[in-house]
Structure 1
Amino acid sequence: MVEKWEVKILMVDRLTDAKIPKIMRPLSIIYLYALYQLSWLGTTRMKVLNPLPKSKQSSVGVQVGQQFTAMCNLSRVKSESGSFNVEWERTIDGYTLERVLHHIITPNEEVFQYLTEKLKARVHGSYLNASISVLKIKPALLEDSGKYFCSINGVKSLTITLFVCKPFKDMFMDYKPKEVEGAKVSINCAAKEGYPEPDVHWIAAGNDISQNAITMMKKLPNKTYQVKSSVVVSAQKGVRYVCSIWNKYIENLLVDWVLPLPGIKVSIPYKEVTGIAGNSVELICEVFIPERDHVSIAELGLYWFNKDSNSKEHLVYSFVNEEENLIGQHPRYENRAFLYWEDFLRGSPDLKIKNVSIADMGEYICRVKDKETIIGEDILELRVAAPYSDPVMTYRRNNTTSFQDVFLICHTKGGFPLGSVTWLSSNGKDLTSRSKTVMNLSNGYFSFKSGLHVSVTEGTRFTCVISNPWLADNVSSTVTFIGD
Structure 2
Amino acid sequence: MMEKLLLLHIFLVCWHSLNALFTVEAPKSLYTAELGSNVTMECIFPVNGKLKFKDLSVIWEKKDEVRKDVYVLLKGKEDSGSQHSDFQGRIKMLKENLDFGQSLLQISNVKLKDAGLYYCLIEYGGADYKTISLKVQAPYRTIIQEVVSTGDKEWKLTCQSEGYPKADVIWQNGGCQDLTDKANTSYETGSDQLYRVTSTLTIKNRTRENFRCIFWNKEIQENTSADLYILDSADDVLWTESRHFVWPILIVSVLVGSVSITICIRKALFTVEVPQQLYVAEYGSNVTMECRFPVNGSLNLELLSVVWEQKRQGQLESRDVYTLRNGKALLSSQHRDYMGRAALLHKELKSGRALLQITNVKITDAGSYLCLIDYQGADYKYITLEIKASYKIINIQKTRKWNEDKFAFICQSEGFPLAEVFWQNEKNFSLSGSANTTYTLTTDGLYNVTSILIINQNMNENYSCVFWNKELNENTSAYIYSLALMSTQHGGQKSLILFIVATCVIVLVLLPALIIFQKRKSFKNCRAKKDRKGKFSPPVTDENRGYYNSQIETSYLSTVIYSGESRNVNL
When normalised by structure 1's length, the TM-score is: 0.45
Q: TM-score, normalised by structure 2?
A: 0.39
Q: Which has the larger radius of gyration?
A: 2
Q: Which has the higher contact order (CA 8 A, sep 6+)?
A: 1
More helix per residue: 2
Q: In proportion to residue count, which structure has more strand?
A: 1
